[in-house]
Amino acid sequence: MNKNPQTYHGEWWVPAVLNHDLKETCLNPKGMMGSEAHYEGTLTYHETSGMSLELYHYSSKFYAKHYGSNDVMWGQDANGHIFTLFNVTMKELRIDDFTCTIFDVGLILMGEHVLSIEDTRYKSCVVQFSYLRNWAFHNNITQGNAGTCVSFKTPYTATKLLEVINDDGAYWRLWQCPSINKTIHDLTIKQTTEFEIEATTELSISSFLKQIEEFAQFLSIALYGDQNPAEVKLTNKETKRESVLLFKKDISVDPGVVSLIDFNLLKDKLPQMLNKWHENYDKIAPISSYLINSLQNKSRFDVPDFLIIAQALDGYHKRFVNKKDEKDIRKYEEQIEILLNQFKEVKAIKECRINPKVLKDTRHKYSHLFPDEEKSLAVEGDDLYWLTEKCKILLTCCILDMIGLSNKEIDLCCEYQSPIRQIIDSLPPEFE
């Protein structure tokens, strides 16, 4: 990632507001009722630490409650670049320089002015993920799917690796695209893998962002580590203009050559998997988020790390197995038994040897659901850590089942170069 901040010096203003209570805005702020003067300032963008805007020499009425926080601000820098800033909130007044005020910026659209993040004007979106190519790698290319790379002005040949249309009428595609490394000493062409969303009707920025997050979570499960977008480009349907989103970027985990969902082995089933993921995303997102967050390398393991996964198993059962199940803590052991029985033919689950009563007692102890002095099989220390790792494997199998994989296919995901196999091989020996 680029560690040097990018700065844009220019003029910035708030779109004209006709009715502050209803937040009605005008397309052209100049000369309209409620319009604001342009203010000089500097927009600073840093990939990892966020975005800020400094405004200079603005009028005193800028302190009014309507201007301390803005859904949208517009701007243009000295080089003619056009910006729309979203979620701009006053951060601080400079005590040492009363002519300057600093604002936090949530999101930047570079390329055009829009009045709202909900404006429906975009036809397609191209997203790059740092390690997408680790999953959909070059030798998965099949003949007969060549096309024009969607992210380049010049017609370099691209190959479509995957296409699926979801029930919202949006196409999800993976493209293998050429990337030119053009320097004084290097004119080589490299391959990159990109994720494209093409809408059948115009969508808003927020709609595209929701689908990007949805695919990012799926990719995180596939690569068994947190994956986040590294670049987002939007295409306006009417003007064909390409705009770039600038946002704070979370670092993605390098999976190396390891993946949970092997692209090559399960490629034919991926459209079905992605459709099931999209269909159930609102229900599975909190659960899969817990799993993805738990996969991050941490210097210290603690009880909440266990409880998050133990509760996620409970949530999965209630949302996908027995929706009528009451919130009765006495049923937790029964829920775990049902899940274990569902995957009893999966080799990884057999090798985990999860004891439902131990898991139930441990969850209840650390959730303070019964007195500490009550007799139980609850574990602690290293045993608690390894119980958590086993629960992650069970939760992973649940998610793979939810997206339509059979137990035999889940077995494929848990073997060979799978991260699940690495966990299984690390488990300490158990004695009867």
Radius of gyration of the chain (CA): 26
Structure tokens at 160: 């479509």
What would the 3-class secondary structure string for 233-274 be?
Answer: EEEECCCCCEEEEECCCCCCCCCCCCCCCCHHHHHHHHHHHH
CA distance 397 to 413: 9
Q: Contact 39/14 with Cβ under 8 angstroms?
A: no
179-222 pLDDT per residue, tens? 666 566 655 667 789 999 999 999 999 999 999 999 999 999 99
Strand stretches in 57-95, DSSP E: 69-77, 82-93
What DSSP assignment string belongs to 346-394? -HHHHHH---HHHHHHHHHHHTT-S-TTS------HHHHHHHHHHHHHH
Q: Which long-range contacts (CB under 8 A, 24 or more apart) does 397-402 make?
A: 397/343, 397/346, 397/348, 397/349, 398/313, 398/316, 398/320, 398/339, 399/221, 399/284, 399/287, 399/288, 399/291, 399/316, 400/260, 400/261, 401/342, 401/343, 402/276, 402/280, 402/284, 402/316, 402/320
Query: Beta-carbon neighbour count of residue 27 at 10 Å?
Result: 10
**Contact partners, residue 282, CB within 8 Å, separation at least 6:** none
**Contact partners, residue 220, CB within 8 Å, separation at least 6:** 226, 227, 288, 292
Strand-strand pairing, 242-246 and 100-110: antiparallel
378-397 pLDDT per residue, tens? 999 999 999 999 999 999 99
Ranked by mean pLDDT, the top range of 30-44, 165-179, 236-250, 349-363 is 349-363
Q: For the packed helices 381-402 and 419-426, what is the interaxial angle rounded to 10 degrees?
A: 150
What is the pTM assigned to this prediction? 0.88
User: Which residues face 6 on adjacent strands?
Assistant: 45
CA distance 180 to 190: 6
Nearest CA to 289 out of 302, 308, 261, 270 is that of 308
Ranked by mean pLDDT, the top range of 50-54, 114-118, 163-167, 387-391 is 387-391
pLDDT score for 254: 93
pLDDT score for 390: 97
Mean pLDDT of 65-69: 59
- The answer on pLDDT for 89 being more than 50 is yes
Structure tokens at 184: 């004084």
> How far is the CA of 303 from the CAs of 2, 108, 390, in angstroms?
36, 39, 15
CA distance 411 to 334: 24
- The answer on pLDDT for 29 being more than 80 is no
Q: Decide which of 237 and 359 is more confident.
A: 359
